[in-house]
Structure 1
Amino acid sequence: MKPHNLLTATSILQSGGAVNSPFAPAPILRLNAIRISGASRALRPGYLTSLCRPYMDPSLSSSFSTIYGTRTGHVLPGQPTTLPSILALTSSLAGDLDKLDVFRTIEATLSPSIFPGATEEDVDIILACGKPKGRVFLKSSTDVGNGEGSASIQGRIRNVFGGAETMQGIATFGTRTRQAFNVELGAPAAWNPDVSGRVAVFAHERDYSTHSSLFEAVKGLKVSGHAAFTDEPKGVIDPTEEDGARAVTTQHEVAYEASVRELGRVRSDASVAVRKMAVSPSVKSALSWTWIRESRDSVVLPSRGSKVRTFLEYAGLGGDARHVKAEVEATTGRHFSPFSWLYPPQPPAPTPSEFVDELTPTIPQPTLTNHPIYTSLTLRSGLIQPLTSTPTHFSDRFHLGGPTSLRMFRHSSLGPKGGHDSLGGDAYWALGASVLTPIPRKPHWPLMLHGFVNAGQVCQLPSVSSRGYGAAWKELGQPSSSVGVGLVYMQGQLRVELNAGVPITAREGDGMRKGLQLGIGVDFL
């Protein structure tokens, strides 16, 4: 009996692609069926059909790549193909099932088709879904980051309606965010797990009394759509190449938010400007779009790649908040060893020879190790343009200053002032450069030496009916800046900094901080 082409193709692949004859063609295979076992215990049959449709329906051509991604580019059932193409389809479909986060394990196998009339070319893909993950999840945690500490309780229900939906709620109590509640229902798109939709109801209360003499209470609803795509590098990657191919992840979020913002609990010594802002609540109805492109090889200590984030918002679909808001952040990281040329790589140790009884003595390695130096450069900028003569609301403005945004200045202390209160601004920019290196002779320690230079400024823009942009841009051209050195402790993505530095330049009213400053967070300038 003639062996099945799948066995022949597998033997060729295991032998490195060699065949008995250089003229022998690759064995032809044809996809006959996709069989998913165990999934019906958790997922609706209709959802599974929609998930497999891009791989099975010939009516979907490459013109639907915007909706389905690369899923329509795989081989279709009945088409002649080879084993690598079948494996690529199997990997893509198994990855889709894994992204649903419903099953503990997913095992993929190929087998000769067992359907009547199948030939030696027909192949079935079998995906065995293991035991479903637990549906109910509950945890409590404490978090320290970005200048505040908090305790939270989080609950989640997985696969609520049999389509990989997730409902989760979280309650947080902290030092700056006094209390926050969020309930969210999210579900992936039936045709593409990389696309999802979410509906969230939220409420939080934040304490701004340390720099603005008031509290902020927000309640609202947010409806959003998310999409994330990863472009895997093709070919062999050389890790020694600085500009080698890297995986690039692109994320999009389109959202609508309706919220009520109320400023209250004004302190007795608050300025007149703060009291005017807290007269009545503000209603905001806005559309926004967020785009993120990430190609760094590490979020904590990147040695190559970059990250770009942009945010656009239009408020004016209702309520009293009417503005256009834009924000951009770009960061890149590199590493190098400045003394590597003094200590070139040593040749491998000699091996014993049958003609020589003793090895030639080797030259001892140098005692000085080549510690890498990591550098990062980050730029942030934002602009709010009011569409009416009414000034922008306090909750929409930008605030700058603090150990995570502009070191050696107090939290949110830069920009326009009302007495001793910070009012925030409509335009800002911030630039930060950092250098990190392991402690000499202790490269395995989570502590690193740190040096930084920061600069930035915030200003208020005039309303539409008035002029005076020249003065605003002049203010932005007079940055507050600082320089310093310190120690950084790394624990996962959490970063703790203890810096000693001084402000170099500052505008009148900026809250300068000389000497030591402690910063705890995830996202630093």
Structure 2
Amino acid sequence: MGTVHAKIPNETPSNVSSFAKQTGLHEESQKEPEVKEVDLERVRVRVDKINVDGLGRTKDDIVEDCIQELFKAKDFKEVLLQSLSTRTKLEELGCFKNIGVYIDTSKGPNASPDGLEVTFDVKEFKRVTGGISTQVGNNEGSVLVGMRAPNIFGRGEKVQVEYSHGSKKTSNFNLAFIKPFRGKHRPMLKTSVFQAHSEWPSSGYKQLERGLLLDIGFNSGSLFKHNLQWEGAVRDLSTLTRSASFDVREQSGASLKSSIKHILTVDFRDEPIFPSTGSIVQLTSELAGLGGDIGFLKNEIFFQDNYSLFEDIVIQTSLMAGYISPTNNDKKVTIADRCFIGGPLSIRGFQARGVGPHVDGDSLGSSSYWAAGLHLFTPLPFRPGRGGFGDLFRTHFFVNAGNVGDFSLEKTSKSDIVQVLKENMRISYGLGVALKLGNMARLEVNYCFPYRFEKGDQTHPGVQFGIGVQFL
């Protein structure tokens, strides 16, 4: 972490006037406050007492599990860092909507000379909350109506019901129960019953999915997050229009999918939307075929690295790749499970799912894909609104490349795989403006130039809008 320094004035400027009046000093004798530079690592302290004010129905044991690491701090820097970490743990419980942190010297007959007293001022959620909001994802905006019953048993348990309707005729219903557990790995259990309806005009089909999801999340390190999931769903796939291709029509009908999935996320970025440094790696593995008539093994990777050249000028590199293969000849892989690329969230300058084989205008997907991006983010020219609204914008220059393929790893040598992915590589470039939406998503308006593409691809030259959580 390096050495942390703090500049501490003898008297703050706002207190100088009142201090002079109290002591009878004249304005002529007032001097600029002296500033001392303090190495916080050299300030040896100990935490004597931790107070958590505002607890009502929340049980003590779940709170104690979150704050116990704070007692191990040995200097003031550790106290600050552990206080922030403790606040994050309390927020993750889902019991409190406001958490304030206050640090003061210890008081009382048993206080040690270098002792500190840390107070967390919390405010619990009401027993039932709800409302209407908007959310962003997959280049689509949605209206979300939800109701939640947080902290129902006093240890962070939560029941929530949500319904969303998207701008692209998608709709989702979800009834979930969430339960956090004690322990340094911060385990959390989530079970949900869901129904999801989605339409994919670029592939000529729509799908109605009803099922059950079981998710166990935990951390194996401070930045290593794991999710183990089991999903069982009945899926009804049907054509979107009468002109849908025969390849889509023959996959229509009901199917049963039962799969297990592991998601590993390692995030070292300083912030998720416009990071200036750090990297993120996300590995996803899914095995379907534990019952039902769908069977496949699918592996995907997403990588992003950021490097700051100068103040607010950042170079970003990104890579995403995936591969799916059938696991049993008696089970099938439908178009809903195959790999697609193209669109404002992946290879810009192409339509959504516009890269790869098309039959009668429908994108059928492939068994594998890769896509890479090189980006340059800079502030707006002349820095309008600096320090305020203008900091939400970035100028964006990019080059994207990628490809899709249909082959089997068992029957293809490594050199042939590289050749297949390389020989039909698509390339696009462009520039635009990116806007930060809260701390969860961003909006991009780019002018795109498809540079290299194949005959069957569907390109999108000119202005292209993209809105989402994770971009290439």
TM-score (norm 2): 0.77
1:479 aligns with 2:435: no
Structure 2 residue corresponding to 1:373, chosen from 306, 313, 334: 313
CA apart distance, 1:434: 1.3
1:141·1:151 contact (CA, 8 Å) conserved in 2? yes
CA apart distance, 1:152: 1.6
Partner of 2:165: 173
Partner of 2:6: none
Give the letter for the 1:43 counterpart.
Answer: T
Q: Distance in 2 between matches of 1:94 and 1:448?
A: 31
Give the letter for the 2:139 counterpart.
Answer: G
Alignment of 1:284-295 (within 5 A): 284-295=257-268
CA apart distance, 1:201: 1.1
1:270 aligns with 2:217: no
Q: Distance in 1 between matches of 2:394 and 2:78?
A: 48
Partner of 2:277: 304
CA gap of 1:486–1:253, structure 2 versus 1, over 3 A, is same
Partner of 2:58: 43
CA apart distance, 1:324: 1.2
CA gap of 1:482–1:82, structure 2 versus 1, over 3 A, is closer
Worse-matched range after superposition: 150-159 or 138-147: 138-147
1:43·1:163 contact (CA, 8 Å) conserved in 2? yes
After superposition, the C-alpha distances for 1:171-211 in whole angstroms (9 at most, x for unaligned) are 11113352111111111103358221111111111111x21
CA apart distance, 1:110: 7.9
2:294·2:332 contact (CA, 8 Å) conserved in 1? no
Q: Distance in 2 between matches of 1:385 and 1:509?
A: 24
Partner of 1:386: 326
After superposition, the C-alpha distances for 1:342-379 in whole angstroms (9 at most, x for unaligned) are xxxxxxxxxxxxxxxxxxxxxxxxxxxxx753221110
Q: Distance in 2 between matches of 1:107 and 1:96?
A: 13
Structure 2, gaps ≥5 residues long: 1-36
CA apart distance, 1:488: 2.8
Partner of 1:406: 347
CA gap of 1:224–1:372, structure 2 versus 1, over 3 A, is closer
CA gap of 1:110–1:120, structure 2 versus 1, over 3 A, is closer
CA gap of 1:468–1:205, structure 2 versus 1, over 3 A, is farther
Aligned length, in residue pairs: 422
CA gap of 1:323–1:469, structure 2 versus 1, over 3 A, is farther
Partner of 2:215: 224
Partner of 2:225: 251
Alignment of 1:89-488 (within 5 A): 91=83, 96-103=89-96, 104-105=98-99, 130-192=122-184, 194-208=186-200, 210-228=201-219, 231=222, 249-278=223-252, 280-337=253-310, 372-389=312-329, 390-443=331-384, 444=386, 445=390, 446-462=392-408, 474-477=419-422, 478-488=424-434
Q: Distance in 1 between matches of 2:451 and 2:88?
A: 52
Q: Distance in 2 between matches of 1:511 and 1:127?
A: 59
TM-score (norm 1): 0.70
Structure 1, gaps ≥5 residues long: 1-14, 18-25, 57-70, 76-80, 232-248, 338-370
Give the letter for the 2:445 counterpart.
Answer: L
Q: Secondary structure at the match of 1:49?
A: helix
After superposition, the C-alpha distances for 1:297-349 in whole angstroms (9 at most, x for unaligned) are 22222221101110011112111111111100000112224xxxxxxxxxxxx
Q: Secondary structure at the match of 1:184?
A: strand
Worse-matched range after superposition: 145-154 or 396-405: 145-154
CA apart distance, 1:430: 0.4
2:321·2:370 contact (CA, 8 Å) conserved in 1? yes
Q: Secondary structure at the match of 2:375?
A: strand
CA apart distance, 1:468: 10
CA gap of 1:449–1:36, structure 2 versus 1, over 3 A, is closer
1:416·1:460 contact (CA, 8 Å) conserved in 2? no
CA gap of 1:49–1:484, structure 2 versus 1, over 3 A, is closer
CA apart distance, 1:215: 0.6
2:87·2:99 contact (CA, 8 Å) conserved in 1? no
Please report the RMSD computed on the Cα atoms of aligned residues, expressed in angstroms: 3.7
Q: Distance in 2 between matches of 1:489 and 1:419?
A: 36
Q: Secondary structure at the match of 1:395?
A: coil
Identity %, equivalent residues: 28
Q: Distance in 2 between matches of 1:119 and 1:303?
A: 43
After superposition, the C-alpha distances for 1:191-236 in whole angstroms (9 at most, x for unaligned) are 358221111111111111x2122111111111111124764xxxxx
1:524 aligns with 2:471: yes
After superposition, the C-alpha distances for 1:72-131 in whole angstroms (9 at most, x for unaligned) are x966xxxxx9787996998476764454242444667786799xxx9989x998867654
Partner of 1:501: 448
Q: Distance in 2 between matches of 1:84 and 1:259?
A: 52
Partner of 1:64: none
CA gap of 1:374–1:272, structure 2 versus 1, over 3 A, is same
Q: Distance in 2 between matches of 1:399 and 1:224?
A: 25
Q: Distance in 2 between matches of 1:379 and 1:512?
A: 21
Flag the structure with larger Rg: 1
CA apart distance, 1:55: 8.5
Point out the structure with the larger strand share. 2
